[in-house]
Structure 1
Amino acid sequence: MLRRAASFRSTVFRLAVAQALYLGGTAIAFAFSGIIGGRLAPDPSLSTLPAALMTVATMLTTIPASLLMGRFGRRIGFVAGAAAGSVGAGVAAWGIAQGSFALFCAGNALLGTYQAFAMYYRFAAAEAADERGKGAQAVGWVLTGGIAAALLGPSIGAWSRTAIPTVEFAGSYLAAVPLSLLALGVVATLALAPPSASVTAGARRPLGLIARQPVFIAAVVNAVVAYAVMSFVMTASPLAIVAAGHGVDAAASLTRWHLLGMFAPSFVTGKLVARIGPVSVLLAGGAVVLASLFGALAGNSALHFNAALLVLGVGWNLLYVAATALLTQSYWPAERARVQGLNEFLVFGGTAAASLAAGAVQTKLGWEIVTQSAAPLVILAMGVTSWAALHGRKRPAEALDADRQQSS
Structure 2
Amino acid sequence: MTTTKAGALEAEAAPAHPGTDDALARRNAFVMAGAQALGGANPAIVISLGGIVGQSLAENPALATLPVSLLNLGLALGTIPAAMIMRRYGRRAGYVLGASIGVVAGAIASVGIVREAFYLFCLGTFVAGMYGSYVQSYRYAAADTASPAFKARAISWVMAGGLVAGIIGPQVVILTREAIPEAPFAGAFLAQAALALVSILVVSLFRAPARPAASAAALPGSAAAKADTGRPLSVIVRQGRFVVAVIAGLVSYGLMSFLMTATPLAMVGCGLPVETAALGISWHILAMFAPAFFTGRLIDRFGKETITAIGLVLTAIAAAINLSGLTVAHFWGGLVLLGLGWNFGFIGATAMVTDCHRPEERTKVQAANDFLVFGSVAIASFSAGKLLDLGGWETLNWLVFPPIVLALVLVALQARAKRLAAA
SS in 2 for 1:132: coil
Contact 2:163 2:285 in 1 (8 A): yes
Give the Cα separation in 2 of the matches to 1:145 and 1:281. 20
Residues 199, 4 of structure 1: alpha-carbon distance in 2 compared, 3 angstrom cutoff: farther
| Residue number among 66, 83, 86 corresponding to 1:49 in the alignment | 66
TM-score by length of 1: 0.93
Structure 2 residue 292 is the aligned partner of structure 1 residue 266:
yes
CA displacement at 1:251 relative to structure 2: 1.2
Give the Cα separation in 2 of the matches to 1:323 and 1:119. 14
SS in 2 for 1:190: coil
Structure 2 residue 247 is the aligned partner of structure 1 residue 231:
no
Structure 2 residue 112 is the aligned partner of structure 1 residue 95:
yes
Give the Cα separation in 2 of the matches to 1:335 and 1:4. 19
| Structure 2 residue aligned with 1:345 | 371
Contact 2:41 2:166 in 1 (8 A): yes
CA displacement at 1:203 relative to structure 2: 5.8
CA displacement at 1:206 relative to structure 2: 2.6
Query: Deviation digits for residues 163-186 of structure 1, max 9, x if unmatched?
Result: 111111101111111100111111
| Structure 2 residue aligned with 1:401 | none
CA displacement at 1:363 relative to structure 2: 1.6
Amino acid at match of 1:280: T
| Structure 2 residue aligned with 1:376 | 402
Q: How does 1:6-405 map to 2 (within 5 A)?
A: 6-129=23-146, 131-193=147-209, 197=215, 201-202=227-228, 204-393=230-419
Contact 1:199 1:334 in 2 (8 A): no
Query: Deviation digits for residues 314-353 of structure 1, max 9, x if unmatched?
Result: 0100011111111011011221121111100100110010
CA displacement at 1:4 relative to structure 2: 5.3
Query: Deviation digits for residues 78-111 of structure 1, max 9, x if unmatched?
Result: 1111110110011000000000001100100110
Q: Which runs of 5+ in 2 are unaligned?
A: 1-16, 216-223
Give the Cα separation in 2 of the matches to 1:24 and 1:71. 28
Amino acid at match of 2:367: G
Residues 199, 284 of structure 1: alpha-carbon distance in 2 compared, 3 angstrom cutoff: farther
Query: Deviation digits for residues 42-67 of structure 1, max 9, x if unmatched?
Result: 20100011111111111111112112
Amino acid at match of 2:168: L
Give the Cα separation in 1 of the matches to 2:102 and 2:351. 27
Give the Cα separation in 2 of the matches to 1:194 and 1:58. 29
Query: Deviation digits for residues 235-294 of structure 1, max 9, x if unmatched?
Result: 001100001111111111111011011101101111111111101111111111111111
Give the Cα separation in 1 of the matches to 2:56 and 2:355. 46
Give the Cα separation in 1 of the matches to 2:76 and 2:167. 27
Contact 1:71 1:200 in 2 (8 A): no
Amino acid at match of 1:289: T
Residues 203, 149 of structure 1: alpha-carbon distance in 2 compared, 3 angstrom cutoff: closer
